[in-house]
Amino acid sequence: MSPMILLPDVLAGWPCTPNINRFHDEVAMEARGWMHSYNPLPLVAHMKFDRDDFPLVTSLTYPTVSRPQLRICADLTIWFLLFDHITDDSNGIAAKQLAMKLIMAMRYPDLPTPDKASVLIDMTRDLWLRTLAFSVPSAAQRLLRSTEDYILAVCKEAEDRDAKHVRGIQEYLTIRRGSAASEVIFLLALLHLDISDEAMEHPTVRELTDLGMNLICIHNDIYSYNFERAHGLHGHNLVTAVMQEKRLGVQDAITYSGEMFHNTAREFMQTIQNLPQFTPEDDKGLREHTLSMINWIVALDEWSLLTPRYFGNQRFQVRRTRMIELANEPEGMEYVFTDTQEEKSWRLTPLESVSMPLVPL
């Protein structure tokens, strides 16, 4: 029997409880219908995609936005996860080729789609035309820049997967903030607000946003590690980065990651207290920004434990006990230490993982 792993209770004491947008049912149906109309996936993958109920995380994340804004948020969430799903099976070159086409479609959505283009490009053009029509210009520009950063970060993830490369913790988090689409998620809550660059790019606001992005990355990677491990995708996961850098086994690395979350959360809450004041309009927008970051964490937690995305049929038991059975790594995708005279690095080799004592933060 595989060993059992205890997940940390990262949201103990979190100052927010789950709430759902009142337009959830109708918007979720429309968003799924929009994706089905393009038929972007094979039938089995399509069924799994529906089962994971991505519109639910959107409605939990944005409980107070208008119906039109919620629809854009739901469609964009589906679009992000489709791109992520498609590139999971792509090498770095193929991911980059698709990425450049998507970026062009976002920048120029009113241009005709090239012949034999990916269906994802057609979805991109339709989605961005609607997003631009709804959003204030400053918010649309921020969303475009951040989405491009997300696309390029996913390409780096694909390149790392090709090279079997595991990054150190801080370098990994820099990439992961992009590949998790964490800033995009925050910006979707602000599409209707004209917040100045002076406010959004102020060093303290930027620090708060980066901390919020780190919280999403850490939380998601703790919960998704076992799922990604089972599919051989765990090279791009914080738990694996911690195992590499701190020379820990899986349980200790997950515990360490939980402590990272709590330390980051404390710093995040303290930074909120230090936010400067701007114009009344900017201050209102920054309050929305702060609340959306706080809410996104609890929405991610709730969705992860309500849907089978990460924990399958065991999700309700995991919610009660926080225990999961450690998945086996696919053959040839096992992560172990190898020491050389020049460096201590990771390589993919068919050996057992080495468990070592936890190094305190």
Residue 243 in any domain: the answer is yes
Number of domains in the chain: 1
Residue 356 in any domain: the answer is no
In this structure, the strands spanning 335-339 and 344-348 are antiparallel
Cβ neighbours of residue 296 under 8 Å, at least 6 residues apart?
61, 185, 186, 212, 216
Compute the distance between CA of residue 221 and CA of residue 228 in angstroms, rounded to an integer: 9
Residue 354 in any domain: the answer is no
State the DSSP string of 259-286: HHHHHHHHHHHHHHHTPPP--HHHHHHH
Residue 242 in any domain: the answer is yes
Residue 355 in any domain: the answer is no
Amino acid at 112: P
- How many other C-beta atoms can be found within 10 angstroms of the C-beta atom of residue 337? 16
15-29, 81-95, 263-277, 333-347: which range is least confident on average?
A: 333-347
Residue-wise pLDDT for 266-319, tens only, equals 999 999 999 999 999 999 999 999 999 999 999 999 999 999 999 999 999 999
Strand partners, 48: none
| Two tokens, residue 206 | 């930027």
pLDDT at residue 29, as a whole number? 97
| Two tokens, residue 353 | 């993982």
Residue 359 in any domain: the answer is no
Residue 219 in any domain: the answer is yes
Closest CA to 138 of 66, 188, 195: 195
The CATH number of the domain holding residue 113 is: 1.10.600.10
Residue 320 in any domain: the answer is yes
| Two tokens, residue 143 | 């969303």
Consecutive H or E run containing 336: strand 335-339
Domain extent, residue 90, equals 4-348
Overall residue count recorded for the chain in this entry: 361
Compute the distance between CA of residue 7 and CA of residue 254 in angstroms, rounded to an integer: 7
User: Once rounded to an integer, what is the mean pLDDT over residues 245-266?
Assistant: 96
User: Once rounded to an integer, what is the mean pLDDT over residues 39-47?
Assistant: 91
